[in-house]
Amino acid sequence: MTKTESGKKYALIAAICYAVYAIYNIINRIIYVSNSEYATITVFNILFWIGMLGMAVALFVKNQKIVIAAAGVNALLGAYYIVTYFSLWNLCDFLAYTSVVVFVVLTIKGNDVVKKIWFIPAAVLLLGCVIGWTTGGYFEFLSAAWKSMLVSIVEIVALLFAGMWVKEIVAPAEASPVNEYATFNPQSINSTPASSSAIGGADKLKMYKDLLESGTITQEEFDAKKKQILGL
């Protein structure tokens, strides 16, 4: 399997996990609201769904800019929850999606550091979940909490494969500009017959004029070549 094929596979798995995670949360919320007299679907619920479904769509189509936007929505929601109700779980959630945004930006810029730290978003979210499960007593009531824990694991897996995809798509660094005259041999000016070139006389004159102005050839060499091209 080639690197490109691996990247596509990772992105698809991550997209499926995010789709499952988002759909479960939407259905769960709708059921909760329908069974509760006071519960409602809030703007923050909708933004959360948009962020998660956005991650699913972005990874499915493998669009880095959409990933940045969707992860940015999740990071902003995480920041809001930190301000309104601080917890280490919320903090880790914020850091996980903020790092996704940073990592994808770095891949676009061709920064190879992402290849070494691609797993950080998933690791940070896992840490947050473990802290939340421990402080919230999830392990003591597994019969009731296992579904919630399993769904969180799906999100962690989604981040893990998204990180693997990010690692595979690091853009190559831009090649340094090449000096087109660096290997030019001035002695070849007088050794190449005018008829052997496929370019026109005007183009030749411009080329040698550029060489003259760059100091690669002398005025005498330019004059000699000019006469040869013009047939003087």
What is each CA distance from 93 to 96, 108, 132, 154, 162, in whole angstroms? Answer: 5, 23, 11, 14, 15
pTM for this prediction? 0.72
Q: Give the Cβ contact number of residue 206 at 10 Å.
A: 12
Question: Tokens 């990592």 appear where?
Answer: 103
Residue range 69-117, pLDDT digits in tens: 999 999 999 999 999 989 999 999 999 999 999 999 999 998 889 999 9
Mean pLDDT, residues 124-136: 95
Q: How many CB atoms lie within 10 A of CB 80?
A: 14
pLDDT digits (tens, 9 = 90+) for 170-217: 865 444 444 544 455 555 545 444 444 444 667 777 887 777 776 677
DSSP calls for 35-69: H-SS----HHHHHHHHHHHHHHHHHHHT-HHHHHH
- Residue 120: is its pLDDT beyond 80? yes
* Residue 40: both structure tokens together: 């409602």
